[in-house]
Amino acid sequence: MLVSVKKLSHSFGSHWVLKNISFQVRERECVILTGHSGAGKTTLLQILHGAQPIQRGVAEVAGYHLNKLTQRRLPLLRRQLGVVFQDFKILPQKSVGENVGMALEVRRMPRAQIKRRVNAVLRGVQMEQRADLKCARLSGGEQQRVAIARAIVVNPKILMADEPTGNLDETLSLRLVQIFKKFNEHGTTVILATHNKQVIQELPHSQLIDLSTHD
């Protein structure tokens, strides 16, 4: 199993957001986390990429036991993941190309190769014309596409995307779902949080995990 979650519960103060969640994700699977606003989709994804500690239960992601994972070893897990944050977390003072290329620079990829990869990914999200623009100047939907490009450029083992089409119109949402689909078909495991019904319909072979129905 690439991801295994057993009896996971999480609270903020006295407010229990996740209650006794269990599920497993096989390699190459596509998983959709759904549920109403506030159901805990973002919280669950944060736990899975090590941004929230485990309070109760057990979780393992890409061979790493999250309960035992130290801050020092967290980057090893992160290297396996591409994460699209709900609030993007792109650097506004850097250009589109710089934001997307950063993760490859950290991995010490040669500059020419970085440029090629970044351009290819930006073409995929229809942002190649904006490569040199500062991110601060982009619209919400454009920033979201940069966030998606940054997550997929590293060719992650697991792609985690939190409401990745929240700021996009219907046509662009469907186009981006096709990109996720293609990655999935090429072997990337995808974990997507969304309440967009159309996105869910476009991914009919997915494991649906509805966090509203757990108690």
Ligand X SMILES: Nc1ncnc2c1ncn2[C@@H]1O[C@H](COP(=O)(O)OP(=O)(O)OP(=O)(O)O)[C@@H](O)[C@H]1O
Q: How far apart are CA 137 and CA 50, in angstroms?
A: 30
Distance of alpha carbon 56 from its chain centroid, rounded? 23
Residue 144: both structure tokens together = 């979201």
**What's the closest the beta carbon of residue 47 comes to Mg ion, in angstroms?**
13
Site stretch for ligand X (CB under 6 A), options 1-9, 37-45, 63-71, 139-147: 37-45
From the list 2, 5, 8, 40, which residue makes contact with ligand X (rule: CB under 6 A)?
40
The answer to whether 37 contacts ligand X (rule: CB under 6 A) is yes
The answer to whether 140 contacts ligand X (rule: CB under 6 A) is no
Site stretch for ligand X (CB under 6 A), options 31-39, 65-73, 98-106, 114-122: 31-39
The answer to whether 200 contacts ligand X (rule: CB under 6 A) is no
Q: Going residue by residue from 29 to 48, which x/- string records binding to Mg ion, judged by CB under 5 A?
A: ------------xx------
* For helices 170-185 and 140-152, angle between their N-to-C axes, nearest 10 degrees: 0
Q: How far apart are CA 77 and CA 209, in angstroms?
A: 23
Q: How far apart are CA 201 and CA 196, in angstroms?
A: 9
> Would you say 188 and 194 are in contact if contact means Cβ atoms under 8 Å apart?
no
Q: How far apart are CA 1 and CA 60, in angstroms?
A: 9
From the list 1, 7, 12, 105, which residue makes contact with ligand X (rule: CB under 6 A)?
12
Residues 73-92 touching ligand X, rule: CB under 6 A, are 86
* Binding footprint of ligand X on the chain (CB under 6 A): 12, 17, 35, 37-43, 86, 163
